Structure 1
Amino acid sequence: ELAPLVKMAAPTLGVITSIGREHLEFFGDVAGVAREEGMLAELLPTGGKLFLYGDSEWSKEIAARSTVPVSTVGTAVGNDWRAGNIRQYPDGVVFRVDGPVDGEFRLRMLGHHQATNALLAIAVAAELGVPCDVIAEGLASCMGPRHRLQVTELNGVRIIDDAYNANADSVNAALNALADMPCEGKRLSVLGPMAELGENTRAAHEEAGQVAAALGIDVLLAVGANAALTVDAARDAGLASTFALPDNAAVVRMLRDEMGPGDVVLLKGSRTARLEEVIVGLKEQA
């Protein structure tokens, strides 16, 4: 899939943000994802450069395939660029950068994983000669796209809208963002189905329930065809307040009864789940 896109765009710089458990129905396993995404390393032209998430177990293999210089980015020792001291606040994350550019940066997006995404952007901007103060100002004013960990407030309840899409890794990241979110009340998670996972579907939905329980999420609502898998796994892992629901309308009704001022609610699911409908429903009944 990647080769025709590279041919179309003809980039000189390439960025691989991560190798995750996505589109497994088509690629088979994570090795297949790494094989395909790593094609970018082989297709960049002479004089180009690859910026690679270096914390991945696949990073060395992909770097070895590269025909151009590679700059690694991550949190682990050994990366060319490192993000550290990552802190999440209600409106985003702050982190320290050590590398060719040093300093503290602020990003108006939730989730510790956004620090390494931002660091990749910092590394590319520095490569292009953008001054450090301009990079910092750009990141501080950057807003995420719709339905990607966007925070809205409704009657004293903060709702994290991450309803654009989902796979096993992004669900884990979203649940961690919910757990890290300052909260005076309960933390509630609404998890929709994850699509295009093939034979990994059962394991991924069970893992979501297990992670929610391990992070101490207070209430878990699962919706869709695989909701029971998530709920049963969460209960087995010790999360008592968890419910399988048939559709988004049922989610709206239960949230209306369960949530109150000071609570934080996460909405996370694949595009087919259209969990943003839950926000619309809550506003209509407010």
Structure 2
Amino acid sequence: MLDLSLNDFLKLKDVRFVNVAQSKFKLKHIKGISIDSRVLETDQIFWAIRGINFDGHDFVREAHAKSALCSVVSVDCAFAQQESDLPLVIVPDTIVALQELANVQRNKYKIPVVAVTGSNGKTTVKEMIAHIMQTKVNVAKTKGNQNNQIGCPLTMLQLNEMHDAAVLELGTNQFGEIEILTKMVEPSHALITLIADTHLEFLKSREGVAKEKLSLFDGLKDGSTVFKNLDEPFIENYNREKLRYISYSFEKKADVKGAYGTVDENGCGTLKVNDRFDIKLQVPGLHNVRNALAAVAVTMDMGFTDNEIKDALETYSGFEKRMQIVKWNGVKIINDSYNANPASMKLAIDTLLEIKHPGKIVLALGDMNELGEQSAKMHVEILEYALSKKINSIFVVGDKMNKAIQKIEKANQKFIAGCTDLDDLAQKLTQILKNGDIMLLKGSRSMQMEKVMAYLP
């Protein structure tokens, strides 16, 4: 059940109720909120959302047939324009209303709310923070990476009196999104992992990315806590009065000082913290050592002891499609297929080289999306970066990657094979991969590179 009441809905701007009083609808007994009529359950509210390829208003009657308590609809939809027999909550804009209701819910509870954003690592840092905190307190957290203007409020609406804290991931690919989410979430604590060349199609440049990400700090209330990564220039140079700053760094003097320790045969590193304790991580990659330091800074400030942080992070095992090590016929496959940008591609390649193996090193790379005018150049740069390393074979799929091959020097093109689709990629990999080899699987989310494993015999 959601902790919502009629009074909460009455706080929505220009809200209007139709047939709600006459129905069996009881706002204090809401089982949940669904934006998908296909998975709607009895006694849930159906929230009609307009997307690029769909309009939730087309499924209002279907939701009613499935015993939805009511449907929340926009004032300009057909149901709101004529007399209706359905129980409706009518609002100017359903996405805005969802965010308004989430903010109402947030302000019921005087709990710490940690907001995490950044070009890379935000999901992992969010998960690490929550993993540590959950050893002592009840934490509400963003599921997966539901970090946009719909997923974030849906997470906020799950808050109830049993929660002691919330850890939320804020995502963006256009200017203004972080500002909207910050206003809705009202974080008490905020962290930006790093700034890199992501979503350049809309954010245009790294400076544009920084401006958008830093709007998280801009939107904080006075007295809020900022965790400042001193190894990231855009973040290090940020300064606003009436905020509380906790710094962390590998390279500079900081409140929380990290150092790199040993790396095991699976590429999993050790984090040394303030020369006081070491954390042996179970997830590969030096970038995850950096992610861990961010999580340490947050939880240390919240009163967790060295041992509590160490014990928790040493049991953190990551999650699907994020540097996930799987095996196929004696081949180690690093499934990092959830998403990709130039910075994360390089990090993944570097991590692959840290993992011990007796055989060949193979890359299977897909397109990187939303890079705008710099897309072609950046795809070439990634292939050149890979060629500069001790990589035996590179296989690529996607229009952007295949076009990039043509820009590579002729002498190096023999190391790269272009593929027409994922099935073709799987067939070529099957012919070359042998017991003892290691392979990286990575591309933007729309490429769905993980499907390659299903095509392998």
Q: State how far apart, in whole Å, the 1-side matches of 2:284 and 2:296 are.
A: 17
Aligned match of 1:80: 255
Distance 1:217 1:17, change over 3 A: same
Report the AA paired with residue 64 of structure 1. Answer: N
Q: State how far apart, in whole Å, the 2-side matches of 1:181 and 1:239 are.
A: 26
SS of 2:350's partner is helix
Task: Find the structure with the greater CA-based Rg.
Answer: 2
Contact 2:368 2:444 in 1 (8 A): yes
Cα deviation for residue 179 of structure 1 reads 1.3
Distance 1:108 1:257, change over 3 A: same
Q: Which shows bigger deviation, 235-244 or 7-16? A: 235-244
Distance 1:130 1:199, change over 3 A: same
Q: State how far apart, in whole Å, the 1-side matches of 2:198 and 2:345 are.
A: 11
Q: State how far apart, in whole Å, the 2-side matches of 1:88 and 1:229 are.
A: 36
Specify every segment of 5 or more residues in structure 2 that has no aligned partner in the other structure, as ranges. 1-176
SS of 1:38's partner is helix
Q: What does 1:1-286 correspond to in 2, within 5 Å?
A: 1-61=177-237, 63-65=238-240, 67-91=242-266, 93-99=268-274, 102-232=276-406, 235=409, 238=412, 240-282=414-456, 285=457
Distance 1:14 1:156, change over 3 A: same
CA RMSD of aligned residues (A): 1.9
Cα deviation for residue 6 of structure 1 reads 1.3
Distance 1:96 1:271, change over 3 A: closer
| Percent identity over paired residues | 29
Cα deviation for residue 10 of structure 1 reads 1.6
Contact 1:20 1:30 in 2 (8 A): yes
Q: How many residues align structurally?
A: 281
TM-score by length of 2: 0.59
Distance 1:60 1:144, change over 3 A: same
Contact 1:42 1:67 in 2 (8 A): no
Give CA deviations for 1:145-191 in whole Å, capped at 9, x if unaligned.
21111000111101000110111111111111111111210110111
Cα deviation for residue 256 of structure 1 reads 0.5
Report the AA paired with residue 280 of structure 1. Answer: A
Identify, as 1 or 2, the structure richer in helix: 1
Aligned match of 2:52: none
Report the AA paired with residue 311 of structure 2. Answer: E
Q: Which shows bigger deviation, 221-230 or 108-117? A: 221-230
Give CA deviations for 1:226-281 in whole Å, capped at 9, x if unaligned.
12344345556847421111111011101101111111110010011111011111
Specify every segment of 5 or more residues in structure 1 that has no aligned partner in the other structure, as ranges. none
Contact 1:41 1:67 in 2 (8 A): no
Higher relative contact order (CA 8 A, sep 6+): 1
Report the AA paired with residue 36 of structure 1. Answer: E
TM-score by length of 1: 0.92
Distance 1:213 1:152, change over 3 A: same
